[in-house]
Structures are given as C-alpha cells and as structure tokens.
Amino acid sequence: MNEGSTQPPPDTATHAPVDASATISPGLTHFDSAGQAHMVDVGDKAMTRRIAVATGSIAMLPETLALISGGNAKKGDVLGIARIAAIQAAKRTSELIPLCHPLALTRVAADFLLDNDLPGVHCTVRAETTGQTGVEMEALTAVQIGLLTIYDMCKAVDRGMTIGNVRVLEKQGGKSGSWSAP
C-alpha cells in the first residue's frame, strides 16, 4: 500500500474473475473468450480481393473553399498534399489502430470534390488488397487524415472548419461478401 493511501490494495484472492461473456457481445471479434483484447487470427481465411470505399467531408467558410479551388492557399496545393497524406495514412493504418493487421495494399485512390453548397470538400477513398482481411480501416483512416490535412493547411484562415460524416460506403470480398451503405 502506498504511504498516505486510504484505500487497501485489492484482495485478488477474494475477487472472482470477470465473466466476459456477460459483458462482451459475441459479435465483437477483437475480444477473446476471457474478454481480453486480441488481434484476430486471420490465418485460416481465404485470400480474396478486398475493396473498401469510405467518405467524409470538411465544412468551411466560402472564402476558405475559394482559396483551395483557386490554388491560393499559403501552404500550397491543398488537395494534392491531402491526397498524398490520405494514401500515406492508409499505408500506416496498422501503426495507428492497435489491432489492425498490416496489409499489403494493392491500390489506394483518394478523390476530393469541392462543394459550394456545403461549402467544403468531400473526400472519398478506395482501398484495395488481396489478402485475408478487409481494408475498411485503411479507407476510413485515409479519409480522416486527408481531411485533417486540409484543416491543417487552411487553419490560419478558418479555425472553425468541421470534419464529419465519415463512414464506409461499400466493401467487397471475404466471407461476408459485398456490402453497400443504404
């Protein structure tokens, strides 16, 4: 016990282990039978072509969008740099998300659409691999980092930008097959 502490140390001999099955959904694959986080074993999964498409948006002042579209941002080509950042983020997803498998990506494409009605920018990323696990996390990470890069490059003129509506639009491949957002 620490000096000055009023709490006795827990008596592990009198505490029963936590029943993970009572608290963890059987559909959550990143927990073992004891409720401990673990990396999913994909060793027995079939190698298939896997594709994921994710999207998100950053809303901003009309003047900020005009700077981006006119190529007049002080830090340079905002969308070009955001595209490279998104691709780099997809490649490094397993370093950022603790239980993601490192993947050999075969393609990452990041597209940006300027939207005067928002006003802002929409980012869509398509990530592809041939492997034993999906690429949804890589596509989602790429979208968020691409949008954060836009924020970083434009924050000097617009600190009120908001990033949102980040989601998976579709996935293909693997045992569960294809899925598209409604």
Retrieve residue 108's tokens: 């990452």
Alpha-carbon dihedral angle through residues 143, 145, 147, 149, given to the nearest 10 degrees: -150
Positions annotated as catalytic residues are 152
**CB-based contacts of 119: which residues, under 8 Å, 6+ apart?**
59, 60, 61, 62, 64, 65
- Report in angstroms the alpha-carbon separations of 179 from 24, 25, 124, 134: 25, 22, 17, 12
CA 175 to chain centre: 22
Q: What is residue 127's three-state secondary structure?
A: strand
